[in-house]
A and B are shown apart, each in its own frame.
Chain A
Amino acid sequence: MLGPGVAWYAALAGFLFGTGALGVLIRRNVLIVLLSLEIMLNGANLALIAFSRHAGNGAGQIFALAVMAVAASEVCVGLGLVVALHRRRLAIDVDRLSELRG
């Protein structure tokens, strides 16, 4: 494999996951929490694909594609919730959305 070894990719994936986790924990806007969640999923995807190439096995790439489909589903449902909140004139703020009844 040309270029950096798999450990460099794993370190980069760990940093991406940490950045996304920081965004999920700190930010209060639902939209930015969803965007940070995408960064976390992409960090996991990078690790999966790096180890797939390292082992010469295609299962990691299949797993990454499944994660991509799950991320698309999560965005579909999450943005549907955001639009429903906006229609009911509720705040898009995770600290103020502490009750299920709204």
Chain B
Amino acid sequence: MSTLVAASAANVLVWIVWVVAGFSCLASGVAVVSFSNPFYSALALIGNLGSLAILYLLLSAEFVAAAQVLVYAGAVMVMFLFVIAYVGPRMEAPWAGGPSWQTLGAVGAAGALLVEIVVVISLKAGDSLGTSAAVGASFGTPAWIGRIFVTDHLASFEITSIVLLVAAVGGVILGSHTRRRASETVAPNVVEQREPVGGAR
């Protein structure tokens, strides 16, 4: 009887954590889309990623939650904030002047996509979503992830490393190409005047 009470108390606790994390996840997602300053949008996305990491912990995916915080909220968002600070804050008023046909079409398309996702999941899954499989304590731990990464999913591991290498090379080429062009030109001022200057600060 006491174990039953403890189990239901844990259930209520998990529900509370889920509701708080899910609400903050959705709210920060809406904030990312609606802020006019990209700096605030990036900060809201950090909150979104943190609450998603809590949801991953509830799903007993400890390694993915840690990777989410380290890779996304750490490395990727630092790079985003650096580039936003480099480019400079460019305000944009997304909701000014009433809804345009483009905005209405976008809302319709996103709503249709959402309805499609919900309908497909509820129709195809049916009642098989009721009971989840029982998993051991090692499910989602770094040791377990590492073992299945180099045994069952070795091809995806290697392909991921190639994708990262290609992206790094592409980033270096994109960054160095323009620098070489600017230094090779004899009169960079003429080049700058020829370009459209609409986005310059």
Please report A residues at the B interface, Cβ cutoff 8 Å.
Answer: 1-12, 14-23, 25-29, 31-32, 34-36, 38-39, 42, 45-46, 49-50, 52-59, 61-66, 68-77, 79-93, 96, 102
A100, B38: Cα distance in complex, Å: 24
A18–B111 contact, CB under 8 A?
yes
A16–B61 contact, CB under 8 A?
no
**Residues of chain B with a CB closer than 8 A to A10's CB:** 121, 129
Q: A26-B33, A26-B94, A39-B45 are in contact. Are A56 and B167 (CB under 8 A)?
A: no
**Residues of chain A with a CB closer than 8 A to B175's CB:** 80, 83-84
Question: Which listed residue, A36, A54, A70, touches B33 by the CB 8 Å rule?
Answer: A36
**Residues of chain A with a CB closer than 8 A to B29's CB:** 15-16, 19-20, 39
SS class, residues of chain A in contact with chain B: helix
A46–B129 contact, CB under 8 A?
no
B92–A46 contact, CB under 8 A?
no
B80–A17 contact, CB under 8 A?
no
Who on chain A is nearest to B31 by CB?
A: A19
A88, B195: Cα distance in complex, Å: 7
CB distance from B22 to the nearest CB of A (A): 5
B174–A62 contact, CB under 8 A?
no
A94, B11: Cα distance in complex, Å: 46
